[in-house]
């Protein structure tokens, strides 16, 4: 907590202590977006699958003094196609991402143009693709857990009230930031074949194969020599009088896993509209 000494208006011989409370903000994040996936699947065939999908996300963001922490979960679903097979042969994609991050302001590098932050992020990402035409061998997946440094640059674009301006005469508060994460360490689970989701005996009875056991048994730790990824987001935020922020974001994510017989490449781009609803009082 910071304290400052100020002169009283009524009596200049007495000092008044003014207390500045630390910044504490908590936001509920709700988002919806449209995105495009591209998947190069080299485990089975060199076909490139592309398609559109939709996502929803839910999260919490907290800001205390010069530290920003965030937890967010994303669920996406879409259909992927390739140029060779007919349109009825498509892969159903389910994408799940859960991440937690913390960023800290760097005082020595701040200036009037931008504010840099640096931190860490732990993220878990799962891509499941089901090809109905492959019958038993119908499911492939990428299951990754990453530890990444976070690089972030912020710019406040607030405007004070000015009735002489032709447009935007009232006070406006806006925020622009760019964030980049590059995983240094990754735990990857990737089968060397199409994982069998359901098999049947001669009478048509189904036997369930444990996908959880499959993921755990194939999970290994890799560094940059086998797993490389980039996750970036550019965001523009507009502040309402209620304290709610409206955020328009463009993001691009890329993964490259080059282990023999398990290699894949994934690219995801999208535009997202988010609402940051303030939970604590101003």
pLDDT at 193: 62
pLDDT at 66: 84
pLDDT at 185: 93
Q: What is the pTM of this model?
A: 0.76
pLDDT at 272: 93
pLDDT at 84: 80
Contact 35, 57 (CB under 8 A): no
Q: Rounded to 5 degrees, what are φ and ψ at 71?
A: -130, 130
In the chain, which stretches have pLDDT less than 50? 1-20, 135-136
Distances (CA, A) of 141 to 94, 153, 211: 9, 33, 10
What confidence tens digit (pLDDT) does each residue in 34-43 have? 999 988 876 6
Count how many residues are written for the chain: 282
pLDDT at 8: 39
Contact 44, 194 (CB under 8 A): yes
How far is residue 189's CA from residue 144's CA, in Å, rounded to a whole number? Answer: 6
Sign of CA dihedral 64, 157, 275, 234: negative
pLDDT at 249: 94
Shortest CA distance to 34 belongs to which of 257, 264, 249? 249
Domains for the chain: give ranges and CATH numbers: 23-278 (2.40.128.100)
How far is residue 223's CA from residue 256's CA, in Å, rounded to a whole number? Answer: 12
| Dihedral in degrees, nearest 10, Cα atoms 255, 257, 261, 262 | -60
Query: What's the Rg (C-alpha) of the chain?
Result: 24
Distances (CA, A) of 27 to 70, 205, 217, 219, 278: 9, 49, 38, 34, 4
Tokens of 196: 């069998």
């Amino acid at each position: 907590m910071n304290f400052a000494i100020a002169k009283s208006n009524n009596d200049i011989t007495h000092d008044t202590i003014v207390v500045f409370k630390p910044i504490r903000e908590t936001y509920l994040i709700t988002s919806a977006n449209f995105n495009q996936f591209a998947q190069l699947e080299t485990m089975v065939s060199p076909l490139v699958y592309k398609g559109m999908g939709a996502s929803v996300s839910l999260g919490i963001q907290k800001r205390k003094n010069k530290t920003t922490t965030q937890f967010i979960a994303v669920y996406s679903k879409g259909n992927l196609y390739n140029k060779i097979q007919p349109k009825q042969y498509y892969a159903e994609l389910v994408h799940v991402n859960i991440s937690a991050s913390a960023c800290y302001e760097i005082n020595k590098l701040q200036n009037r143009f931008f504010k840099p932050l640096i931190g860490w992020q732990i993220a878990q990402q799962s891509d499941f693709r089901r090809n109905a035409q492959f019958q038993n061998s119908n499911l492939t997946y990428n299951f990754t857990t990453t530890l990444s440094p976070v690089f972030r640059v912020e710019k406040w674009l607030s405007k004070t009230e000015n009735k002489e301006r032709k447009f935007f005469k009232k006070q406006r508060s806006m925020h622009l930031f760019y964030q980049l994460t590059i995983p240094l360490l990754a735990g990857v689970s990737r089968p060397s074949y199409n994982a069998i989701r359901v098999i049947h005996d001669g009478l048509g009875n189904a036997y369930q194969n444990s996908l959880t056991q499959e993921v755990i048994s194939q999970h290994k730790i890799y560094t940059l020599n086998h797993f490389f990824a980039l996750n970036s987001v550019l965001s523009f935020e507009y502040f309402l009088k209620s304290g709610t922020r409206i955020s328009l974001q463009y993001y691009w994510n890329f993964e490259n896993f080059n282990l023999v017989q398990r290699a894949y490449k994934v690219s995801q781009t999208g535009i997202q509209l988010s609402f940051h609803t303030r939970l604590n009082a101003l």
